[in-house]
Structure 1
Amino acid sequence: MKQLFTLLVLLSTFYQSKAQTTAISPSIKTSKAVLDDFMDQRFGMFIHWGPVTLRGTEIGWSRGTSVPVQDYDNLYKEFNPVLFNADIWVKTAKDAGMKYLTITSKHHDGFCLWPTKFSDYNIMNSPYKKDIVGELAKACKKYNIKFCVYFTVLDWHDPNYPIHLPDGKNLDPKADIHKFITTMKNQLREIVTQYHPYVLWFDGNWESPWKNEYGADLYTFLKKLDPNVIINNRIGASQGGEHPKLTERIIGDFATPEQKIGELNMNNPWETCMTICQQWAWKPNDKLKTLKECIQTLAKTSGGNGNLLFNVGPMADGRIEQRQINRLKEMGDWLANYGESIYGTKGGPYKPNEVFATTRKNNKLYVHIFDQKSADVILPALHGVKVNQAYLLKGSKINYSQNTDGSIVLRLPEHLPNADDSVIVLELNINSDNL
């Protein structure tokens, strides 16, 4: 019995110690006001780009798989994107109705798009020799787009990181993770102090060398540099390669479902990251999402109370493909008419489906109609809610009724103004925050 008691004491001490190493002081966590501002933005541009575009394969993941390591690691010597223009990239985001932009400053292949003093494997040692991150930060300020930076916590190129290939195997006994973390901190200090990102978007946290306590320490370090910088949930270690939902035990400010729309969540901030084509980095003739897919993804994400970080992969010469620019501009045209139902709204109260999603603001409930399968759309009853009037956003009134059980019946016009997503506004007798 005494031995059992001793074991329990030891286990308790271990877990308390473990909790202390991963705990984040509430005083340094990102404030609700800052996170609310982030969630009001709703729509951002993700950019995956680097020397790998010379091969048209996936960034990072093709190193040592479809592209031999020796070939991959020397692509930077040919990387000369003479047609890169930060203003054009940021103006593309602006015209799409996007409010922020996130650039892969360093992906898993270790190549840095800024002139870091802590690695020679950077843009200044390519033929191009210009600070990509700095030029984008400057252009974002010019166009009033919030500038954000992606940064990986794994680096298969750095000899001090214990894993060197995407298979996640064969830890290098000569590697020194603590020296690697020192390099990380030095590089992140450069990024935060020189470019002042709105969000730091981490990735690569699923490999075994990365521990939760490293993430907690890094979060604390960054908050000392900038108390208001927003940090995603991939700074702490993940399990089984999954990107965890946000809970009190998860380090970071918002959740990051990938290539799928997150679930309705009114309690914790989240952002879906998704590609406009299939691959994150540029690929020749990659399949482009239809306008319907793009608009409805944005509406369903907003309806679930999340943001959409929509990825483009520029080409090796520095241009974003014209077809991607065109598709984004079409989204921007839709938002010019319907943006009121996206920006600064809350999701819910209904879970998005294939027929409709809802967003809300003040006394208005916005009903996004995706598919006119029948003449009526029926919304389940909401406690204490009565509809005062119903109309198409920027259009005419529509007929509606409320059943005795409180359910709302919307009678759709024969022809909706937008086949991809037409928005009906319901003005309610109460503030939608109370739903």
Structure 2
Amino acid sequence: MTDTTWFTDARFGLFVHWGLHSLAARHEWVQKHEAIPTEEYGRYLEYFDPDLFDPVAWAETAWQAGMRYTVITTKHHEGFCLWDSDLTDFKATSAPASRDLLAEFTDAFRARGFKIGFYYSLIDWRHPEFPVDQYHPHSEDELAKAEPRDMGKYVEYMNGQVTELLTRYGQIDIIWFDYSYNRPGVWGGKGPDDWESENLLKLARDLQPGILVNNRLGIPGDFATPEQFQPSNPPTQDGEPIVWEACHTLNGSWGYDRDNHRFKSPDLLARMLIDSVAKNGNVLLNVGPNGRGELEPTAVERLSALAGWMRLHERSIRGAGASDFQAPTDMRFTQRGNRLYLHLYTWPLKHVHLQDMAGKVAYAQFLHDASEVGLKWHGGAVHSQLEDSSITEDTLTLIVPEQKPDVLVPVIELFLEEA
């Protein structure tokens, strides 16, 4: 069983989708969406020159936001490689960039203290042996659909590239394969038999013992990856809890999308992170750098807002997880040892009632400034006019100010009585 301790302790990671699609600046699936022929799409290689790429700055921005691991697209569906692969010329070293961008990224993030993850697309619209399917840019081209292609040769290519990635860059902590789609209604869909997933998984583990592998090979991995939604309950497999990570975009696009300004608000991002940790999950939050190698100003602003919140509230996230205690409606509990953290999504009027917690809390304070929060329980009336049948002798009531603290999501730290 692979040790996932560091992963579940970190809780928050940076996803990076970067490649030739950043020049098109119209979504990372632009080649498919606009049915751009392979040769025509290849022209972006002639112009890819991210002269402002500063991975040290990226790493610092992410670190301050509270992220402790990163996953970068070494190759997305377009087939373009950020590293100097020996198996293709469709790579950064063949572009005006003329250098191994993956090496620069990995060195900078590892130096800052990040665990390193590599995303690798199982799909490859560039490779001549990858069979055309419903998701391929040539899916409407009858000639392309009729071409005989050898999936075995493509699998050999994948194994060769994964070997390069897992032998050239030191310790790699995660490999994030993407993805299987052998489901009804998708013609030409591909899954574990096509990828020879068992062999690919074994290869990864042989080359990097201890590496974490996601679940998108179509066979069980070390963690599940719900995408662009928050599970209503902690995910399970065969009725048992599993390690999981919700992956999210800032604005609905993974790659740089110049005209997409639908950015999630800072407080929503904070609530997504809290909600995941409260259900024993992680968040992998994505940025899509532009063609010159810079993060969008709005992305930096959002990460900076999270940095401000995480500086004050990190201990309710890092190393924390689900609690057996039940939080009130529109609030979330996380727990770390004998400390319980109540995250208030909406601000109450003076009182927060916690059921079945009377006598279980020794002290309470706001986490952002360590100011005391008053405690009362049945027998010490909260208000002379209060009549609430839900309040019993087992109810603990927190006394909060009328004014909400000036933080994205206020957190009350509860020190539990020693058992």
Task: Output the TM-score relative to the length of structure 2.
Answer: 0.86
Measure, in 2, the Cα distance between the counterparts of 1:308 and 1:118. 33
After superposing the two structures, state which structure 1 stretch, 280-289 or 67-76, moved more. Answer: 67-76
Q: CA deviation at 1:93?
A: 0.9
Q: 1:158 aligns with which of 105, 127, 131?
A: 127
Measure, in 1, the Cα distance between the counterparts of 2:396 and 2:259. 45
**Residue 365 of structure 2 corresponds to residue 391 of structure 1:** yes
Q: CA deviation at 1:157?
A: 1.6
Question: Is the Cα–Cα contact under 8 Å of residues 177 and 209 in structure 1 kept in the other structure?
Answer: no
Aligned counterparts, 1:22-37, within 5 A: 29-30=1-2, 34-37=3-6
Q: CA deviation at 1:350?
A: 5.4
**Residue 26 of structure 2 corresponds to residue 57 of structure 1:** yes
Measure, in 2, the Cα distance between the counterparts of 1:71 and 1:380. 63
Q: Which residue number corresponds to residue 119 of structure 1?
A: 88
Q: 1:46 aligns with which of 8, 15, 21?
A: 15
Q: Point out the structure with the larger helix share.
A: 1
Measure, in 1, the Cα distance between the counterparts of 2:67 and 2:341. 20
Q: 1:334 aligns with which of 292, 306, 309?
A: 309
Q: Which residue number corresponds to residue 296 of structure 1?
A: 271
Q: 2:415 aligns with which of 397, 413, 427?
A: 427
After superposing the two structures, state which structure 1 stretch, 214-223 or 334-343, moved more. Answer: 214-223
Measure, in 1, the Cα distance between the counterparts of 2:324 and 2:149. 50
Question: Is the Cα–Cα contact under 8 Å of residues 401 and 408 in structure 1 kept in the other structure?
Answer: yes
Measure, in 1, the Cα distance between the counterparts of 2:394 and 2:196. 52
Measure, in 1, the Cα distance between the counterparts of 2:157 and 2:232. 36
**How many residue pairs end up in the alignment?**
385
Gaps of 5+ in 2: 183-188, 236-240, 379-391
Measure, in 2, the Cα distance between the counterparts of 1:264 and 1:78. 46
Q: CA RMSD in A?
A: 2.3
Question: Is the Cα–Cα contact under 8 Å of residues 97 and 332 in structure 1 kept in the other structure?
Answer: yes
**One-letter code of the match for 1:99?**
R
Q: CA deviation at 1:188?
A: 0.7
Aligned partner of residue 119 in structure 1, secondary structure? coil
Q: Which residue number corresponds to residue 343 of structure 1?
A: 318
Q: CA deviation at 1:37?
A: 1.3
Aligned partner of residue 193 in structure 1, secondary structure? coil
- TM-aligned CA distance change 1:263 to 1:215, over 3 Å: farther
After superposing the two structures, state which structure 1 stretch, 155-164 or 271-280, moved more. Answer: 155-164
Q: CA deviation at 1:365?
A: 0.5
Q: 1:210 aligns with which of 185, 191, 207?
A: 191
Aligned counterparts, 1:135-174, within 5 A: 135-163=104-132, 166=135, 174=148
Measure, in 1, the Cα distance between the counterparts of 2:255 and 2:69. 19
Measure, in 1, the Cα distance between the counterparts of 2:244 and 2:232. 9
Measure, in 2, the Cα distance between the counterparts of 1:364 and 1:228. 31
Q: Which residue number corresponds to residue 178 of structure 1?
A: 152
Q: Which residue number corresponds to residue 275 of structure 1?
A: 249
Q: CA deviation at 1:164?
A: 5.7
Aligned partner of residue 40 in structure 2, secondary structure? helix
Kindly provide the CA deviation profile for residues 186-218 of structure 1, in whole angstroms up to 9, marking residues without a partner as x. Answer: 111111111232111111211423225822221
Question: Is the Cα–Cα contact under 8 Å of residues 8 and 282 in structure 2 kept in the other structure?
Answer: yes
Aligned partner of residue 301 in structure 1, secondary structure? helix
Q: Which residue number corresponds to residue 239 of structure 1?
A: none
**One-letter code of the match for 1:83?**
L
**Residue 406 of structure 2 corresponds to residue 418 of structure 1:** yes
Measure, in 1, the Cα distance between the counterparts of 2:317 and 2:95. 41
After superposing the two structures, state which structure 1 stretch, 289-298 or 101-110, moved more. Answer: 289-298
Q: CA deviation at 1:430?
A: 4.6
Q: CA deviation at 1:318?
A: 0.7
Q: CA deviation at 1:167?
A: 5.4
After superposing the two structures, state which structure 1 stretch, 208-217 or 135-144, moved more. Answer: 208-217
Q: 1:228 aligns with which of 205, 210, 222?
A: 210
Question: Is the Cα–Cα contact under 8 Å of residues 32 and 136 in structure 2 kept in the other structure?
Answer: no
Question: Is the Cα–Cα contact under 8 Å of residues 124 and 131 in structure 1 kept in the other structure?
Answer: yes
Kindly provide the CA deviation profile for residues 320-379 of structure 1, in whole angstroms up to 9, marking residues without a partner as x. Answer: 122211220121111111101110111233577872111101111100111114332233
**One-letter code of the match for 1:136?**
F
**One-letter code of the match for 2:286?**
N
